[in-house]
């Protein structure tokens, strides 16, 4: 048992040191991308699974889609963020482009859902959302 623990410890250290190595030299950070629209079903059925399509702005050729961050604010309120990676060590060409991406959503509650899609911040730094309510059948 002690031998297995030592071997697992060595393997963990090897992977840990390797994970920190940035061989390709690309520097980037993650950021929320501005949502400009969303397509959701007119209604949900309990325990149903649905595709939700989100249109977001890709501001330049250094920004790439990485996925969604869907945060539960309340039982049936979801804040939806489009997550992008932005390369920071090269010159970027500005090319505002609207792009669509989808995610699957499973309905677990029998109450209407409120989706809040992040659209950026106002002049006071307050988050702005596109809000869409979806009733349950």
Question: What pLDDT sits at residue 23?
Answer: 55
pLDDT, tens digit, for every residue of 55-78? 999 999 999 999 999 999 999 999
Instruction: Name the residue ranges covered by the structural domains of the chain.
Output: 26-134
pTM over the 0.85 mark: no
Extract the residue ranges of the chain whose pLDDT is less than 70.
1-25
User: How far is it, in rounded angstroms, from Cα 17 to Cα 48?
Assistant: 43
pLDDT, tens digit, for every residue of 19-31? 444 556 679 999 9
Is residue 45 within 8 Å of 95, Cβ to Cβ?
no
Is residue 96 within 8 Å of 37, Cβ to Cβ?
no
Question: What pLDDT sits at residue 24?
Answer: 62
Contacts of 12 (CB under 8 A, 6+ apart): none
């Amino acid at each position: 048992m002690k031998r297995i623990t030592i071997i697992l410890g060595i393997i963990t250290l090897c992977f840990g040191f390797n994970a920190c190595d940035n061989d390709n030299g690309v520097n980037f950070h993650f950021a929320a991308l501005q949502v400009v629209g969303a397509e959701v079903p007119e209604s949900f059925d309990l325990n149903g699974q649905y595709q939700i399509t989100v249109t977001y702005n890709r501001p330049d050729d250094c920004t790439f889609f990485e996925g969604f961050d869907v945060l539960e604010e309340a039982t049936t309120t979801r804040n939806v963020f489009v997550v992008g990676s932005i390369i920071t060590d090269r010159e970027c060409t500005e090319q505002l482009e609207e792009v669509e991406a989808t995610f699957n959503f499973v309905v677990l509650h029998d109450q209407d859902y409120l989706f809040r899609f992040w659209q950026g911040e106002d002049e006071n730094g307050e988050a702005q959302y596109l809000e869409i309510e979806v009733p349950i059948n």
